[in-house]
Amino acid sequence: MNEHSNESHIKSDAVQDEFQSFNLLSRLSATLSSPINGRVVLGPNWFASVMGTGIIAIAGATLPVQFPGLFYISSAAWMLAVILLAVMLVVIPIHWIRQPGTFTAIARDPILIQFFGAPPMALMTVGTATLLIGSHYVGQSTAIAIDSVLWLIGSILGFITAVAVPYRLFTQLSVSSDAAFGGWLMPVVPPMVSATGGALLVPYMEAGPFRESLLLICYAMFGMSLVASLIIITMIWSRLAHFGSSGSTRVPTLWIVLGPVGQSITAACALGRAAITAIDEPFATGFKTFALAYGVPMWGFIWLWLPIALLLTIRARHKQMGFALTWWSFTFPIGTCVTGTSLLAVLTGLPMFQWTAVFLFVILISAWFVVLTRSAHGSLRGQLLTPSLNAPHPKAFKD
């Protein structure tokens, strides 16, 4: 009886939070007509809030250790992510139409352009969350249909972004020798998210060549994103070694490195499980074996990069690093580490992975709460809505 009461209380709080968030978004939408402290600038980086919220639902649904109230937390995260996505898909395009110079300015900025990878990942994150959590509310067939549409659109847009943004960076945008930062990963990670989301759809596809083709396409997108990510991570490491860290709001993007790492583990494990339903032996067992052979060593890199990113973030805070939308980098990447660790727990059955996933989930929830609160505060004050498109790019330095 007490457990039922506690869950009802959690559900009630979640609904209240959703209404408060909806009111906040309504106020943000109104700023299109009356800018705060100058010109309103809404870029694709706002979709990171959808990613950071939706990943909570996915992480909660896959967490190997379930506890009372977890389903309601995941449900609230899914509902809020749906609301955020719907608002972004309406408000931001209208904003770009009403202020056409904004899109052009973003496309010309070597930092801001990288975040065009966020919208396709936001679409696929909400799609996967709908399949895992939303199916309890809208039914499985409807959830599969919604996820399939969002996955397809997100995958197409993600592939276009993965090609177009680097091409523009290679041919038109000027960058300094210390310019490599975590944001460079944003355009190339969507295919990895496609690989993960596609793996969950494989069992629902018609058996035969179509299902097998989808599985192999997902593996191809896995490789597409992984190779590009490893190249960029190497460049980030090189920049840090040669020039140091900027100590600016660019520093949180170092956490994005955890994104392709955790997402690749999740994708490898999810594809390994899906292979059993889509492809004949011995390849099915081989793909499942690959999940562990790849996932565990890559999981080790999480525990190398996480303390490095944490120390550099603490250093930046000591140097008066302010708040910016880049703080959403603390959410989705950690969420992918949760999902990757959770699937390793499923494949191995080891308590080590199970409780580590819970530990990371707690960190995820804590980071999300802090970033959401700061985002709401900064938006209402107008600081996040009126950034300068001509701000000097941060310079890396060493102590």
Q: Mind giving me the DSSP string for 193-242? A: HHHHHHHHHGGGSPTTHHHHHHHHHHHHHHHHHHHHHHHHHHHHHHHHHH
Q: 208 in helix, strand or coil?
A: coil
Cα 322 to chain centroid, rounded: 22
pLDDT of residue 100: 82
pLDDT of residue 10: 41
DSSP annotation of 394 reads P
Half-sphere exposure of 388 (CA within 13 A, CB side): 4
The token pair that represents 378 in the structure block: 């900064």
pLDDT of residue 320: 83
Residue pair 191/221 in contact (Cβ under 8 Å)? The answer is yes
Report if pTM > 0.85.
yes
Site of tokens 């177009």? 164
**Residue 281 zone, left/alpha/beta (φ > 0; ψ -120 to 50; rest):** beta
pLDDT values of the chain reduced to their tens digit, one per residue, 399 residues:
444 444 444 444 444 444 444 444 444 444 443 343 346 678 999 999 999 999 999 999 999 998 899 999 999 999 999 999 999 999 999 999 988 888 998 999 999 999 999 999 999 999 999 999 999 999 999 999 999 999 999 999 999 999 999 999 999 999 999 999 999 999 999 999 999 999 999 999 988 999 999 999 999 999 999 999 999 999 999 999 999 998 888 999 999 999 999 999 999 999 999 999 998 889 999 999 999 999 999 999 999 999 999 999 999 998 888 898 999 999 999 999 999 999 999 999 999 999 999 999 999 999 999 999 999 988 887 777 777 655 557 788 888
Q: CB atoms < 10 A from the CB of 128, how many?
A: 31
DSSP notation for 40-72 = ----GGGGHHHHHHHHHHHHHHH-SS--TTHHH
Half-sphere exposure of 219 (CA within 13 A, CB side): 20
The token pair that represents 227 in the structure block: 């190779």
Tell me whether the omega of the peptide bond preceding residue 394 falls within 30 degrees of 0, making it cis.
no
pLDDT of residue 99: 86
pLDDT of residue 246: 86
pLDDT of residue 247: 83
pLDDT of residue 388: 62
Residue pair 364/331 in contact (Cβ under 8 Å)? The answer is yes
User: Which domains are delineated in the chain?
Assistant: 39-381 (1.50.10.150)
